[in-house]
Amino acid sequence: MSIPAQPSGVPDAEPDGPEGRLRRFATIWSRAIFPSTATSMTRPEFEEHLLPLARALSDILHSRVFDATPAHRVGAALVAAHCTDPDALSSSLGVVDSYLVLYCGGNGPVELSTEDSRARCARIQHALAGGFTQALRERTLSEQEAIARSALTARSHAEQALHATEARFRAVFKDAAIGIGIADLEGNILEINDTLTRMFGGLENHVRSHKVNEWVHPEDSPYVWKYYDELVRGEREHYSVEKPYYRNDGTVLWTNLTVSLLRDSEGRPEYQLALLEDTTERRLLNLRLRYEATHDALTGLPNRTLFFERLEKALAPREGMRFGLCYLDLDGFKAINDSLGHAAGDRLLVEVADRLQSCGTAPGEMVARLGGDEFVALTTGPRTQDDVHELAGRILLALATPIRLDGRELTVRGSIGVVEGPSGERTAAEVLRSADITMYRAKAAGGNRFALADAEADARAITRHGLTTALPAALDRGEFFIEYQPLVHLGDGSVHGAEALVRWCHPQHGVLGPDRFIPLAEHTGLIVPLGRWVLEESVRQANFWQERHTDGGPLRINVNLSPAQLHHPSLVAETVDVLERSGLEPGALCLEVTESALIGADDDLLKPLRQLAEMGVDIALDDFGTGYSNLANLRRLPVSVLKLDRSFTQGMQHHPADPVDLKIVEGIVSLAHSLDLAVTVEGVETGAQAEQLRQLGCDTAQGWYYARPGAPDRIHALLLADAV
Ligand code: C2E
Ligand code: MG
Ligand code: MG
């Protein structure tokens, strides 16, 4: 059984019940917009009028199947209630944004998460703004139509009047709501009505003292004077244009001007009749609406919308035209915001915006804010190859002077991605993506610099990005697999163990080596679950070999550990767990840690390794010799194996081998042995190398000479061969 919901419209007495909260919302709303309405209602009447609109918004917020379109009607209803000022719209959106969820959030039958409510609220605002703007436009159009109709009537009346009586003509003239003037064909003004005088600033003399063809304005449309000439010559009956004039105080009056030719009773051109409708305010309103829609409220810079319009224009194919784009992101802005607060952050952005603005003032240049601490500067023209470098340099220079905020001097730096090219080749989205990637390259190189886009780097970054996002699902879908490369005793060539090396069988790119994705997995943290899987899988595999191969001593498994895994608090517990569940003894496992991961390691970092070593797990120092570690430090580390990097082996390719190389390896081996460390060499590719390394005292080896990394059953086969 369900409890029927309270029918809307029935007020409940509880002030903090749903109805009370709804009313609170309507009160706040009415308080916010009443001052900017032109309504004849009193304030309480107005609030009463808003209540059903508030209820409609609340119902939309809670609708089972969400649909924001009814909010459109709420926007239109505001216009119908004479809330036509742009402030009324922005205040309404502000109120809906801050209070709708707060007061009406819990009112409905549908349980909504905060996130859902916010998302719905945002879409409601969009629909409301859309309804408002559309209604306002329709209203303006119908007003225009009414005026145009009255102009037409006036014109035919005027014509009749001219042919009829002077008295009636005067009456039409005086009463008309639009400006009317009559001039002869030379342009001398003969008659004007009061409305026209008022439109021009109230001085009749000001209007009469000029001939019609002297009212030239720099923003005149290119056709207006051509039409005029045609009309006075009798070749045209009328024309309509939008035309600006100067009032007597120098301000500009915008009009919709309609001029008609008046002929005498024989049909010869005699007078011109002008009807002028004042459109100044409507134009200002439109400009203001457009300005608000295309500028950033905080800094006053053009916003994303306007920037995209310009960029698209710049990219449209035009012979010989090029574009240059600087995409700027401040370095470390988040830290400033977090430490000094958002108000200080905002002031900093305003200062940065001012400085940037002064960098892009040449014709064809624009500066815009895309959001947050991201800005762009665009330049267009035939020679942007040079211009864009200068522009990027100017921007860095403009940021170089510290900014004073609350008595502190803040040094603001930025990273800029620069993209330049001919028009007509790329879309705005492509250009922006390239600029974004390039900006990150500038940041990765240390920031406070600009980098130039290049197609290859873009492509690399894009696949890197693609791989990074595909990684988590790849682990779930089992796209990783492990190859094993045998470790061999240099003394007798017997297989002593194997190193587990992970690969990714990517659905599009095929098999990828660890160099392609381990750094990405480390960066995103996925290395921890991936590394855990490698450990589990290879320990399970080693145990399987162990069971099949009882003679010749235990077979060992080497598993690589990333720095991120080393830092992970459950490394020891998980390793113990994996070993216990598989039944493999700890002495058969060797964890490989790179030398560079242990340089400068403190006791906290070494503790888990030490615990594992105490349990009997071997720790190998991988890629030894590449990380410049202090040899004296080896004593501190809980390692039992040194894996000499491949570069040493490569040095032995030549015959005879470089004696200095040989001395170095010999030195390392004797030092290692004196510290009780075994030495494994990597990358053995020839028999000569193997022999050389054996003579130098190395214990075990790994390399293509013995086997490439391969499927687990290959190791099994090698073991069997050994046994024979
Ligand atoms: P690494 O641990 O030094 O592994 C040895 C690398 O040398 C392997 O490359 C192996 O295929 C290659 N190699 C072996 N013998 C020869 C040879 O004779 N000549 C040449 N030129 N190369 C040889 P791979 O498989 O591409 O692995 C690269 C690195 O990726 C590894 O270096 C290791 O640091 C890392 N890695 C591989 N698997 C894992 C894993 O499961 N976890 C982590 N964290 N890292 C892994
Ligand atoms: Mg290794
Ligand atoms: Mg290595």
CATH of the domain at 620: 3.20.20.450
**pLDDT for 4:** 38
**pLDDT for 630:** 66
Q: Say yes or no: CB of residue 515 within 6 Å of ligand 1.
A: yes
Distance CA 578, CA 582 (A): 6
Domain shared by 715 and 587, yes or no: yes
Distance CA 48, CA 540 (A): 74
**Residue at 15: amino acid letter:** P
What phi and psi, each to the nearest 5 degrees, are found at residue 75? -60, -45
Tokens for 147, please give them: 């005026």
Q: What's 234's domain CATH number?
A: 3.30.450.20
CA angle 523–525–531, rounded 5-degree value? 110
Q: What is the CA radius of gyration of the chain?
A: 40
**pLDDT for 160:** 64
Burial of 15 (0-12, 13-18, 19+ CB in 10 A): exposed
Q: Say yes or no: CB of residue 531 within 6 Å of ligand 1.
A: yes
Instruction: Answer yes or no: is pLDDT of 138 > 90.
Output: no
Question: Contact, 698 vs 679, CB < 8 A?
Answer: yes
**pLDDT for 266:** 85
Instruction: Answer yes or no: is pLDDT of 459 > 90.
Output: no
Give Dmax (Cα) for the chain: 131
1 part of a folded domain: no
Q: Residue range 472-490: average pLDDT?
A: 94
Instruction: Answer yes or no: is pLDDT of 86 > 80.
Output: no
> Which residue intervals of 209-332 are DSSP H helices?
224-232, 280-294, 304-315
Domain shared by 305 and 282, yes or no: no
Distance CA 652, CA 644 (A): 13
* DSSP designation for 96: I
Distance CA 408, CA 504 (A): 51
Q: Say yes or no: CB of residue 703 within 6 Å of ligand 1.
A: yes
Q: Say yes or no: CB of residue 683 within 6 Å of ligand 1.
A: yes
Q: Residue range 202-220: average pLDDT?
A: 90
Q: Is 184 helix (H, G, I), strand (E, B) or coil?
A: strand
Question: 336-368, pLDDT tens digit by residue?
Answer: 888 888 889 999 999 999 999 999 888 889 999
Percent of the chain with pLDDT strictly greater than 70: 93
CA angle 26–32–36, rounded 5-degree value? 120
Nearest residue (CA) to ligand 1, atom 11: 709
The neighbour count for residue 452, using CB atoms within 10 Å, is 16
Q: Which of 243, 250, 174 is nearest to 212 (CA)?
A: 243
Better-scored residue on pLDDT, 610 or 283: 610
Question: Contact, 398 vs 289, CB < 8 A?
Answer: no
500 part of a folded domain: no
Nearest residue (CA) to ligand 1, atom 12: 683
Domain shared by 308 and 429, yes or no: yes
476 part of a folded domain: no
Domain shared by 374 and 358, yes or no: yes
Domain shared by 384 and 265, yes or no: no
Q: Characterize the bridge pairing of strands 408-410 and 189-192.
A: unpaired
Please give the C-alpha separations between residue 146 and each of 53, 141, 167, 282, in angstroms, as whole numbers.
29, 9, 26, 15
Distance CA 540, CA 579 (A): 9
DSSP 28-55: HHHHHHGGG----S-HHHHHHHHHHHHH
Domain shared by 592 and 687, yes or no: yes
Domain shared by 279 and 339, yes or no: no
724 part of a folded domain: no
> Which residue intervals of 215-373 are DSSP H helices?
224-232, 280-294, 304-315, 333-340, 342-357
287 part of a folded domain: yes
State the pLDDT confidence band at 415, using cuts at 50, 70 and 90. very high
Distance CA 35, CA 92 (A): 12
State the pLDDT confidence band at 627, using cuts at 50, 70 and 90. low
Distance CA 117, CA 130 (A): 20
Q: Which ligand neighbours the alpha carbon of 709 most closely? A: 1
Q: Which ligand neighbours the alpha carbon of 488 most closely? A: 1
Instruction: Answer yes or no: is pLDDT of 199 > 50.
Output: yes
State the virtual CA torsion across 584, 587, 593, 598 in degrees, nearest 10: 130
Provide the domain count of the chain.
Answer: 4
Which of 481, 488, 518, 714 maximizes ligand 1 atoms within 8 Å of its Cβ, making it the mutation to test the pocket?
Answer: 518
DSSP strands (E only) in 249-291: 252-263, 269-278
Better-scored residue on pLDDT, 548 or 556: 556
Calculate the average pLDDT of the chain: 87
Question: Contact, 345 vs 380, CB < 8 A?
Answer: no
For residue 501, how far is its CA from the centre of ligand 2 (angstroms)? 8
Question: 280-339, pLDDT tens digit by residue?
Answer: 888 888 888 888 889 999 999 999 999 999 999 999 999 999 999 999 999 888 888 888
Element (H, E) at 180: strand 179-184
Distance CA 173, CA 186 (A): 22
Q: Say yes or no: CB of residue 534 within 6 Å of ligand 1.
A: yes
State the pLDDT confidence band at 165, using cuts at 50, 70 and 90. low
Q: Domain end: 255, 273, 294, which one?
A: 294
**pLDDT for 105:** 79
Beta bridge partners, 419, equal 325
Tokens for 174, please give them: 């005086």
Q: Domain end: 94, 124, 140, which one?
A: 140
Instruction: Answer yes or no: is pLDDT of 633 > 80.
Output: no
Domain shared by 288 and 300, yes or no: no
**Residue at 88: amino acid letter:** A
State the pLDDT confidence band at 14, using cuts at 50, 70 and 90. low
515 part of a folded domain: no
Domain shared by 258 and 287, yes or no: yes
Inter-helix orientation angle 114-163/166-175, to 10°? 160
Q: Containing domain of residue 63, as a range? A: 17-140
Q: Which of 305, 316, 325 is nearest to 417 (CA)?
A: 325
Domain shared by 706 and 619, yes or no: yes
Domain shared by 536 and 448, yes or no: no
Beta bridge partners, 500, equal 484, 559
**pLDDT for 724:** 45
Q: Residue range 624-644: average pLDDT?
A: 82
Dihedral sign from CA coordinates of 298, 302, 308, 311? negative
684 part of a folded domain: yes
Nearest atom (ligand 1) to Cα of 594? 34
Nearest atom (ligand 1) to Cα of 709? 11
Domain shared by 662 and 636, yes or no: yes
Distance CA 136, CA 79 (A): 6
Q: What does the buried/exposed string (b/e) look like for 552-587 if buried means 16 or more CB atoms within 10 Å of the residue's CB?
A: eebbbbbbbbbbbbbebeebbebbbebbeebebebe
For residue 650, how far is its CA from the centre of ligand 3 (angstroms)? 13
Question: Contact, 86 vs 287, CB < 8 A?
Answer: no
The neighbour count for residue 48, using CB atoms within 10 Å, is 14
Q: What's 417's domain CATH number?
A: 3.30.70.270
Nearest atom (ligand 1) to Cα of 705? 18
332 part of a folded domain: yes
Distance CA 228, CA 221 (A): 12
Q: Domain end: 237, 265, 294, which one?
A: 294
Q: Which residues lie below 8 Å from residue 444, measured CB to CB, with a gap of 6+? A: none
For residue 406, how far is its CA from the centre of ligand 3 (angstroms)? 53
For residue 623, how far is its CA from the centre of ligand 3 (angstroms)? 4
Better-scored residue on pLDDT, 109 or 642: 642
For residue 682, how far is its CA from the centre of ligand 3 (angstroms)? 6
Question: Contact, 280 vs 271, CB < 8 A?
Answer: no
For residue 499, how far is its CA from the centre of ligand 3 (angstroms)? 10
Distance CA 567, CA 528 (A): 10
Nearest residue (CA) to ligand 1, atom 46: 560
Distance CA 426, CA 437 (A): 16
Distance CA 709, CA 137 (A): 71
Nearest atom (ligand 1) to Cα of 534? 41
Tokens for 124, please give them: 């409601």
For residue 501, how far is its CA from the centre of ligand 1 (angstroms)? 6
Tokens for 121, please give them: 């609220």
Model's pTM, two decimal places? 0.49
Tokens for 535, please give them: 């450990």
Tokens for 8, please give them: 């809307």
Question: Contact, 673 vs 710, CB < 8 A?
Answer: no
